[in-house]
Amino acid sequence: MNNDFFNQLENNNKKTKYILEKQSKIEKTENTIAVIIKVIAFLSLLIGLIVGIVVGNANGQQFDSLKMLEYWLIFCGCALGCFALAEIIQLLQDIKDRLSYKNDDIKE
């Protein structure tokens, strides 16, 4: 019984090493579209900050913090949506990479 346990443990270690070796060979590619969308989202945050301050000070007499906050929230929501879209695209790219690697592994 003791030998069965050690044999099973050794087989599990071999399987784990094999899986880790296969996963390390998977090339992770950065999706260009996802990177561009992330840059757009970051620029949207910066532009929203500037536009909010300019619109809040548009009166010239009194600073309108509610207008500023409104613009900040709008631009922040748009940027968050862009970040989410970019992350979804990158996750789909990672899935594609793993599936194509598994298909190549099956063909061999």
Q: 1 pLDDT exceeds 80?
A: no
Report yes or no on 56 lying in a domain.
Answer: yes
- Other CB atoms within 10 A of residue 34 CB: 19
Q: 84 pLDDT exceeds 70?
A: yes
pLDDT attached to residue 96: 87
Report yes or no on 70 lying in a domain.
Answer: yes
Q: Pick 17 or 99 by higher pLDDT.
A: 99
Nearest to 41 by CA among 85, 79, 90, 71: 79
Report yes or no on 79 lying in a domain.
Answer: yes
Q: What is the mean pLDDT of the chain?
A: 82
pTM for the model? 0.66
The residues, any chain, with a CB within 8 Å of residue 105's CB and separated by 6 or more, are: 22
Q: Where are the alpha helices (DSSP H) in the chain?
A: 2-25, 32-56, 65-107
pLDDT attached to residue 58: 80
Percent of the chain predicted with pLDDT > 90: 41
Rounded distance between C-alpha atoms, residue 26 and residue 105, angstroms: 11
Range of the domain at 86: 29-107
Report yes or no on 18 lying in a domain.
Answer: no
Report yes or no on 2 lying in a domain.
Answer: no
Report yes or no on 87 lying in a domain.
Answer: yes
Q: Which residue has the tokens 């757009």?
A: 40
Tell me the mean pLDDT in the region 78-91: 95
Rounded distance between C-alpha atoms, residue 39 and residue 45, angstroms: 10
Nearest to 27 by CA among 85, 83, 99: 99
- At 23-58, the pLDDT tens digits run 666 667 788 999 999 999 999 999 999 998 888 888
Tell me the mean pLDDT in the region 67-79: 93
Report yes or no on 71 lying in a domain.
Answer: yes
Number of domains in the chain: 1
